[in-house]
Structure 1
Amino acid sequence: MKKIFTTVLMLTALIISAQHMGNFQNQAEDLSISRANIATSMGNGAVYRKAYAEAHTPLRPTNVLSINLRSLYNVDATDYTAVFNIIQVGKTAEETTQLMNDKIELIKKELTQKGFQGQFALDMISFVPQYEIEVTKKLFSKTYTEVPVGFELQQNLLISYRKDTDFQKILTACGKAEVYNLVKVDYYVKNLEAVYEDLQNKLLVEVAKKKAYYEKLGFEMKNYNVMMADKKYYHTPKDFYKSYLAAENVSMESLKNQKSVTKVRKPTSYYYDPIPYNGYDIVVNAAITKPVIQLGMDLSLQYTLKPVEKKPDPKPAPVKTPHPKVYVVSPNGPIDIKQLPNN
């Protein structure tokens, strides 16, 4: 008799806020599983995961012209900083400090031997004593006393590098020093202003195309006043890492036969899910093969008709003031001209 086992693929998505993943995680606020078995509406990048298949709505013509443009630039990082958290305990303050320094020096030595050209920095987190409870028994009571038994030192080791391939060297060196807690990897771009300037120029080209389109439709743009709004944004890969958990349930046959089930740890898978290109008019370096910094600029222009200028009423012609004159002719022949007053 054939045994048919039924397995159910269950996927639970969580959001991870880290680059090169690290161990710094945020809890997912809600779960939404897509047909691709990945979360589509969680995390710091949730605003970009909205469904774009909206119902068709009829357009409403208006005499107000609008130009709304969105641009995105995928940029490879020029510098990286990996952050490792190190916790060291010891019986005395001197021993704890020495053990911490030994780990850090070992990491530096391993990387230097491999030709590493990066920089190192330390971020002091805490240095506190550890206590235990000492119980003192008396005839009719017990006394509990805190006594120091050691010290705990916590520091963050920051390692800056430029080549993406150096990251594997850093992981190997930290592993030899028993430093495993990678907090995050930060990305940086040096020529940030040049990238934004390039986006601005591309937006201006698109605006000119839109205005030419409106001119062909019969709108004279010189007769419109314009208002504008714009914004910039900068996203690093740590905002767009996600995770999902793929697990198989026990077979129904095992439950029917009341067999014991041994639970196995289900590994969590991670992936980089950048900003989707839906709704963007300009995308530079669209094809990416690794996590990148995503810079964006949005521009909104609104054109409204200029008010019609009213022509002033014509002024009435000025009334000429009369200047009456009297001609007096004497009997002898001379003529005398006299000016009479107006009133």
Structure 2
Amino acid sequence: MKNNFYYNKTKFFTLLLLLISIYSIQAQMSGNQAYRNRNSYENNRPVLSDVKHFYATDSTMVINVNVLMNKKADQFKITLGLNDEAESPKKAIENMNIRIQNFIKRLGVLGINKDDFYVDFISQTKVYDVSLSDDKKLISEKIKGFEIKKNIIIKTNDHSKIEKIIYEASDYQIYDIIKIDYMNTNLEKIHQDLMTEASKIAKWKKEDYFKRFKKEIIGTPTMNSGFNYVFPSSQYQQYTAYESSDFDLLRGYNNNDLMIKKMEKKGKTFYYEGTPYNGFDKVINNEDPEIGIQYIINMSIKYDFKKNR
């Protein structure tokens, strides 16, 4: 009886450990992205219109086609921000221009010439400070100086130069990386390629329908199409992966002594996740890991039928 008890107990714990192991494996496969804020995540996702890919009556047929293309960018534009503060606007501009000119010389070493960048004047603002009177009864606000802000916009067709530009900029106290734009110069060709792919799919859907149903088309079909693109800047999601304690004690004995709770820093992780592929008839370059621009074409073709008597 006793041996039977230990046998059943051992069997129970073995089964329990097995279930925990299976759960752990499944959890790891989802990745830490499971910690993301699902509400904000879903609200920011590009959503494909909920349209029927195929619709027909006794007098009409509408074929809908959706195609997505992942395309590497062939040109990039990086915007860097810098500021300088001095007792006068003139002095602040002089100090900033020295930094900019030296940085531009360094850009030349990277093969970036004067046609590849632009310096944009952003703002000139007063900087205020406060002073305390001798009797320490009056706090007065006064102008401390002026702050000048400018942006340097740099274009390059070499993705590897972006990090080099940021690396060199740090030597001139340029730390603000405002944004990086992804661009394609052959937008018309991309549009035409997507139209060609969508037309092939529409033709296949039409032929498939007529194999199943004997209909006679009258008149000329009508067509509508839409062309959209999604840039990487809107496709990044974030999460913070951590587990907090079950309870927190913020006050001392009799709830009189206020206690300060010092929190550990929880790092946020950002990752790229493009437009979901569900709802598309075809996705081009879906195996390419390099982040680029997503192009979407929607095509709708309407046919009129001769009604059967």
- 1:143 and 1:229, CA in 2 relative to 1: closer, same or farther beyond 3 A? same
Name the structure 2 match of 1:72: 68
Distance 1:10 1:120 in 2: 37
Alpha-carbon contact 1:10-1:247 (below 8 Å) kept:
no
Name the structure 2 match of 1:316: none
Amino acid paired to 2:71? V
Alpha-carbon contact 1:215-1:221 (below 8 Å) kept:
no
Name the structure 1 match of 2:77: 81
Q: Does 2:233 correspond to 1:232?
A: no
Amino acid paired to 2:70? N
**How many angstroms does 1:188 deviate by?**
1.2
Distance 1:156 1:178 in 2: 13
- 1:176 and 1:198, CA in 2 relative to 1: closer, same or farther beyond 3 A? same
Amino acid paired to 2:224? A
Equivalent residue pairs, number: 264
SS at match of 1:108: helix
Name the structure 1 match of 2:197: 202
Name the structure 2 match of 1:32: 38
Name the structure 1 match of 2:162: 167
- 1:143 and 1:189, CA in 2 relative to 1: closer, same or farther beyond 3 A? closer
Distance 1:307 1:11 in 2: 53
Amino acid paired to 2:202? V
SS at match of 2:263: coil
Distance 1:152 1:246 in 2: 39
- 1:198 and 1:221, CA in 2 relative to 1: closer, same or farther beyond 3 A? farther
Name the structure 2 match of 1:312: none
**How many angstroms does 1:130 deviate by?**
2.4
Distance 1:199 1:76 in 2: 15
Name the structure 1 match of 2:21: none
SS at match of 2:179: strand
TM-score (norm 2): 0.74
- The RMSD of aligned alpha carbons is 3.5
Name the structure 1 match of 2:217: 222
Distance 1:131 1:66 in 2: 66
**How many angstroms does 1:79 deviate by?**
0.9
- 1:239 and 1:87, CA in 2 relative to 1: closer, same or farther beyond 3 A? same
Name the structure 1 match of 2:305: 305
Q: Does 2:270 correspond to 1:270?
A: yes
Gaps of at least 5 residues in structure 2 are: 1-31, 253-258
Distance 1:60 1:214 in 2: 10
**How many angstroms does 1:60 deviate by?**
9.4
SS at match of 1:97: helix
Name the structure 2 match of 1:186: 181
Alpha-carbon contact 1:116-1:166 (below 8 Å) kept:
no
Alpha-carbon contact 1:124-1:156 (below 8 Å) kept:
yes
TM-score (norm 1): 0.67
Match of 2:120 among 119, 123, 129: 123
Gaps of at least 5 residues in structure 1 are: 1-8, 14-30, 34-38, 53-58, 310-343
**How many angstroms does 1:42 deviate by?**
2.9
Name the structure 2 match of 1:16: none
Identity %: 23
- 1:92 and 1:78, CA in 2 relative to 1: closer, same or farther beyond 3 A? same
1:53-72 equivalences under 5 Å are 62-63=57-58, 64-72=60-68
SS at match of 1:87: strand
* CA-to-aligned-CA distance 1:56-85 (integer Å, 9 cap, x gap): xxx997323221100112111111110112
Distance 2:307 2:289 in 1: 53
1:101-180 equivalences under 5 Å are 101-116=97-112, 119-133=116-130, 147-180=142-175
* CA-to-aligned-CA distance 1:272-318 (integer Å, 9 cap, x gap): 11112111112221212121111111011222324689xxxxxxxxx
Name the structure 1 match of 2:294: 294
Name the structure 2 match of 1:24: none
Distance 2:164 2:126 in 1: 34
Could you say which structure has the larger radius of gyration? Answer: 1
**How many angstroms does 1:46 deviate by?**
4.1
Distance 1:217 1:224 in 2: 21
